[in-house]
Amino acid sequence: GLAVAYRVIQGVATLSGNALSLSGLGAVSVAADQAGDGNYLPAISVANAFTVARGDQTIVFTAIGDQVLGTAPITLKGNSSAGLPVIFQLVSGPATVSSGALTLLGEGTVTVRARQLGSPLYNPAQTDQSFVIRKLTTLAVNVVGNQGGTVAVTPLKNLYAPADTVTLTATATSGFAFVGWSGDLTGSANPATLLMSASRSVTASFKDIQAPVLTWDLPATGTTGVEQVRLSGQIIDNVGVTTAQWSREGGAGLALTVQANGSFAVENLTLTVGTNRFAIVARDAVGNETKLERIVVWVPERVLQVVNASEVQEGQRQVFPVTLSSATANMSGLTFKLSYDPAYLTDPQVEWGALVGQSVNNVNAGIDGEISGSFALAGTVLPAGINAVAKVSFRARSVPAALVVEVTPRIESLSDSKGAVLLTGNASMQGIGRIKTRRILGDNNANQRLDIGDAVVVTRLQVRLEERRSWDIGLNDLNTSGSIDSGDVVKVLRAVVGLDPQPRPLSLGPSLAKALNLSPVGANTNDVLSLELLDGPVAKAGEAYRVAVRVVRAGTSLSGLSFTLKHPTALVLSGKQVGELIPNDALPFWAETADEVKLAAVRSTVWPSKTGVAAVLTFVPAVGISSQAEWGLSLESIEVTGSGFDTRSVDSVSAIVKATTGPILPPSVPAQITLTPPNVAGGKWSFEVRAGNGETVVIESTDALGTPWSQVQQVTGRGVTTPVPVNVELSPSVLTRFWRVR
């Protein structure tokens, strides 16, 4: 508890009482003493040494931040933690520092330093700060797509600070769609934002999506009696029409001239009789398209028509009726021309109709390919409706293949009872006919045989009195010499006098028998063979069933034949044998699969007989078949020959076998035709059909044997003793027609 005394041993320090004052930098030592008293001895001095040094200070430099070039000098601010004054200096960059003011000189990065130089008590201190100087920026906005749209900029300024952000909003005008941004802004976001840290250029693209607007005025859709029409209307587009075309009946497009106001017109279009289909197509620059179609039906007041002719074989005459029709009775005179192709039609002949034949009339058929005709009624008119003007016939010339010929009429003039010319409301319609090829080599007059007329034609072709086309050689080269020569004439004449048989893929007698279905019970026939169902038309499951192939009308001698009989796999072939027709010393070849059996039999000499059974085939229907089952048999790939050089293909033959699971019934009686004299005046032919009660009978006809049969009608049988009358229409232009029941 005794008082302690302090003293400075060393250093720049002084003591005043117990207070130590420092007067400089360096080492200082201080001692503490106690002198003692009556109770205590003096205390040992304790020294305390330390060093006096300057303190550290910090500088707080106020942030400058990025600046825009052109900003006024900036006063720099900074404070020292020691409270000493701070000075500023430029380290780098386009700026100057003077008296604490920062002046911006250009674009770039600037570094400024704040310093305190220190004092006897504080060390120096400094800190640096960097920022960027940028110019004010601009924004350029462009629009692609003509008047496709607009762009709104928010905020809208002439100049932007580099830190500014703008919002761009694209708005498309009617008929356009916004596509996207390009330039300093990409993508299709709308609205979109953009930082203006630099001058920007942005393009907004718009697409034209509106097709041209087409207004079609004339002609009006529907039926008209006016022959010539005007096609007109208007085409308008939000940008502009680049192409405009019109077409007719789906043909090639023809250019439309579109005026400045969008209108267009095509004058004096002539309609055809019946349906006229028009179309208009308009497109703009980007391909937007508008297409309209319109149907106009012209019903003319008067029509000159060549009626279609019936099909004929080359060598026959083909008849084209010519009619003139009108809704009113106002026609008294007509001048016309008929055009035809003389390469296939020749020897034109005109027979006037009953009314026209009483008029003053003239015909000129002396120009190949053209017939001119005219008539004039004396003070009267043709009645309303369809009037027969004439029948024009041609001889069908030889053709390289079946083809269609055309006869095209043209009205030269048409007048009424007062002589006034009827200029409008008139139409012409062409007629067509089909010429088919011959069926017998050398048969030029289409009577299905060789006769003296054919000999004459071949002779004329030989000496070129008759025009000879390339195909005429093959059609008349009977001796296969490669040309038309006297040998071909001899071949025809030998057939005429009977030294050689007539060529017969098809002969009239057997064909007529086929047409009238005069075949044995249970048999189907062609011109040579019959397919006979020996056990009737019904087969029983699991029991043998026989089918015979018979030659019924070979016509010429036989030395070989071949055929293929196709059958369902449900009819299992169990046996096969040749018939009595094939000689014992002939060489038969058989081949069979699951659904067909083939036979070929030949001998070097002529067989003793040319009619008889060629083969008998035995089948067994599969067990378990339905009683409603039917099987089709087809005799195909039939060929017969006599000398070997005259091999002839024969039409296929077919038959239907029905199934039963019970007793087999006797075959039904085949349908029959009973002929009656035709009622020529009435234009009809009557005959009677007799068939089993309830049986369906199909009546078919053809104009030429060897061509497909066409179904005419069906009748239902009333029993073999009760006839069913049938009436069929006759055509005056058809010379021959065959009928059959099936």
- Is the pLDDT confidence value at 519 over 60? no
Q: In sequence order, which ranges of 580-631 are alpha helices (DSSP H)?
A: none
pLDDT of residue 675: 62
Confidence of residue 562 (pLDDT cuts 50, 70, 90): confident
Question: How high is the mean pLDDT of the chain?
Answer: 86
Query: Residue 490, exposed/middle/buried by CB under 10 A (0-12, 13-18, 19+)?
Result: middle
Tell whether pTM > 0.75: no
Min mean pLDDT across 443-452, 496-505, 589-598 is at 496-505
Confidence of residue 513 (pLDDT cuts 50, 70, 90): very low
- How far apart CA 620 and CA 569 sit, in angstroms, is 10
Q: Sort strands 200-208 and 139-144 into parallel, antiparallel or unpaired.
A: parallel
- How far apart CA 417 and CA 401 sit, in angstroms, is 47
Average pLDDT over residues 545-555: 85
Count Cβ neighbours within 10 Å for each residue of 75-89 and write b for 16 or more, e otherwise.
Answer: ebebbbebebebebe
pLDDT of residue 624: 63
Token digits of residue 123 = 């060390």
**Residue 115 or residue 50, greater confidence:** 115
What pLDDT digit, counting tens, does each position of 489-498 carry?
888 888 877 7
Q: What's the number of CA atoms in the CB half-sphere (13 Å) around residue 485?
A: 6
Vertex 261 angle, CA 257 and 266, to 5° = 30
289-298, strands of its sheet edge to edge:
222-224, 289-298, 274-284, 241-248, 254-255
- Single-letter amino acid, residue 391: K
pLDDT of residue 518: 29
What pLDDT digit, counting tens, does each position of 365-415 carry?
999 999 999 999 987 899 999 999 999 999 999 998 888 999 999 999 999
Residue that is written with structure tokens 């005709």 in the block: 373
- In angstroms, what is the C-alpha Rg of the chain? 58
- How far apart CA 80 and CA 264 sit, in angstroms, is 89
Average pLDDT over residues 468-488: 90
Do the beta carbons of residue 709 and residue 701 sit within 8 Å? yes
Bridge partners, 467 (sequence order): none
For residue 515, give the DSSP letter: H
- How far apart CA 346 and CA 315 sit, in angstroms, is 10
